Amino acid sequence: MNKKTIVITLTIVIAILLTAGILYNNPLPPNNPPATETPPPSPPDSNPSILEVIIFDVGQADCTLLKTDNYTMLIDAGNTGQDRLILNYLTEYGITTLDYLVATHPHADHIGSMTSVVNTMDTIGTVIMPNKPHTTRTYENLITAIEEKNIPLTIPNPGDVFQLGEANIEVLAPNSATYADLNEYSIVLRVEFGDTSFLFTGDAGTISENEQLAAEFSLKTDVLKVGHHGSRTSTIQQYLTAVAPSYAVICCGAGNTYGHPHTEVMTRLTAANTQIYRTDQHGTITFTTNGKDLTLSVTKDSPQPPTPTPTTTTTPPPSPEGYIGNKNSQIFHLPSCTSLPSEQNRIYFDTRQEAIDANYRPCGNCKP
């Protein structure tokens, strides 16, 4: 199936979802049922609500769970092939239902195991995705799973506000309809719980950060999930100054060949007196707050140095953005390659092995 056919198919799927009332644009539905009467004031000794934010260690990928009272939200779901790891994490926390499942953008290191989450959960209230179809099997499988389970799918707009229990969540991005870089479509969420706040940025880059600044959103945040695994393409100085986080969390794999987090980002975070935590060094990172106090715990007691990058390798590292094949030459490339074919001659692969199994050869220029 070529890309044009896939895009037409996805367009038809979205149209069907709209017609069936499964897909909504705005507003996001609240997950709390409306009260029939004004509840009495809580007694002084009642247990206060607690918000847990668990940023799982999933290597060079993203997966975060928000849990408060009986309400849950999962933001991203790791990479392709991490299905068992993600499901084990959710089982560990007793998660069988989700109020919200957020796919920040369609790259495999963010939605790679999301189809398994959709198929395994007893119920999912709403799936939230950007308005950006993608022509990979991973994305197609996810859309099919959402449709088969008849789960409402929402495309959010900047400024949308919804609730997760007592947590208020505001959508800050994406702010444009079209970007050249798929990362810029990332859904950015700011979560307020009492006097504490969290900012989840997916892989949003410089363009998205500048748009958020121009829109004059309230960005000041206690905890920043640093964009794009600490890449230099994100966390520009103006954005960091506006966010002014006390804590910064970077999701990256030990010894990753992308060099994440990049030195420029680490230097800016350090100069801002931000406490930095990394999944490659600290494992799974958990923040707990009652709306006033904020505590932190990690699964590794002390930071561990990243595994050194090997000087030679027989198999190149996987690309989190997949691979692009040339249907004419039967050669596949990294998305950053300068020798990419024209759009009508492209075919997309989630993994290197998938491209090789389709009898495509690696490009000698970008060496995917």
CATH of the domain at 231: 3.60.15.10
Judgement on whether residues 55 and 116 belong to the same structural domain of the protein: yes
Judgement on whether residues 238 and 289 belong to the same structural domain of the protein: yes
Q: For residue 351, count other CB atoms closer than 10 A to its CB.
A: 20
- Domain assignment present for residue 41? The answer is no
Judgement on whether residues 262 and 351 belong to the same structural domain of the protein: no
158-167 per-position pLDDT tens digit: 999 999 999 9
Judgement on whether residues 201 and 349 belong to the same structural domain of the protein: no
Whole-number average pLDDT of the chain: 86
**pLDDT value at residue 227:** 97
Beta bridge partners of 298: 285
Contact between residue 62 and residue 78 where contact means Cβ atoms under 8 Å apart: yes
- Tokens representing 343 are 């759009």
Kindly state the average pLDDT of the residues 337-352: 80
94-113 per-position pLDDT tens digit: 999 999 999 999 999 999 99
User: Residues near 283 by Cβ (< 8 Å), separated by ≥ 6?
Assistant: 57, 298, 299, 300
Judgement on whether residues 337 and 231 belong to the same structural domain of the protein: no
Write the single-letter amino acid at 50: I
- Domain assignment present for residue 273? The answer is yes
- Domain assignment present for residue 12? The answer is no
Judgement on whether residues 337 and 194 belong to the same structural domain of the protein: no
pTM: 0.76
Dihedral over Cα of 173, 198, 63, 128: its sign = negative
Judgement on whether residues 198 and 338 belong to the same structural domain of the protein: no
Judgement on whether residues 293 and 352 belong to the same structural domain of the protein: no
Provide the CA 184 distance to its chain's centre, in angstroms: 12
- Domain assignment present for residue 318? The answer is no
Judgement on whether residues 135 and 174 belong to the same structural domain of the protein: yes
Residue-range definition of the domain harbouring residue 239? 49-298
Using the 3D structure, point to which of 298, 333, 350 is the last residue of a domain.
298
- Domain assignment present for residue 133? The answer is yes
Judgement on whether residues 135 and 273 belong to the same structural domain of the protein: yes
The count of domains in the chain is 2
Judgement on whether residues 260 and 175 belong to the same structural domain of the protein: yes
48-77 per-position pLDDT tens digit: 799 999 999 999 999 999 999 999 999 999
- Domain assignment present for residue 224? The answer is yes
